[in-house]
Structure 1
Amino acid sequence: MLSEAMIALIRAYQFFSPLWGPRCRFYPSCSQYAILALRVHGPIRGSWLALRRLLKCHPFHPGGYDPVPPRQG
């Protein structure tokens, strides 16, 4: 339930983000990564993974392919 509410907020961001132009240096994009992390890992770990990804998003990081890690156990 909480994950779905968080995903709805990310989807709203994705709706408006094309107005600001492409910015993400990663694949999948940071917002898509956050959605996948929430779906795979739930709201707590998924939020932590999304935050870690956002902290990597700066001009000094090369970006590239960075998939959501698989669920453990």
Structure 2
Amino acid sequence: MGQRLASALIRRYQQGGGSRRYFNLECNFTPSCSEYTRQAILRFGVCRGIVLGWQRIRRCNNPDCVRRHPDPLPKEWP
């Protein structure tokens, strides 16, 4: 239940414009930080997914990045 709710909230954020609309930023990675977090929550559960998402967001700190870098979700919990 918590996974579905968290996933739905992230989807709503994405459909509303995501980081471009709310923070005037574009993610440096592919998939985007919100999609990465959503996938992590669905794969590893809410708590672990949020931890992975937060770690990813902390790495996303280059506002002048011109090329997106691939950074897929790990297959297993690190």
2:72 to 52, 67, 70: 67
Q: Deviations over 1:14-71 (max 9, x none)?
A: 01116627611101111110111011111111110001011111117x6611111112
* % identity of equivalent residues: 34
Partner residue in 2 for 1:41? 44
Aligned length: 72
The AA in structure 2 aligned to 1:17 is: G
Tell me which stretches of 4 or more aligned residues in structure 1 moved more than 6 Å: none
Task: Tell me, in whole angstroms, the C-alpha distance in 2 between the residues paired with 1:55 and 1:11.
Answer: 20
In structure 2, distance between residues paired with 1:28 and 1:54:
12
What secondary structure does 2:27 align onto? coil
**Separation in 1 of the partners of 2:39 and 2:72?**
9
Give the 5 Å matches for 1:1-73.
1-17=1-17, 20=21, 23-59=26-62, 64-72=69-77
TM-score normalised by structure 1 residue count: 0.82
Distance 1:10 1:27 in 2: 16
Unaligned runs of 5+ in 2: none
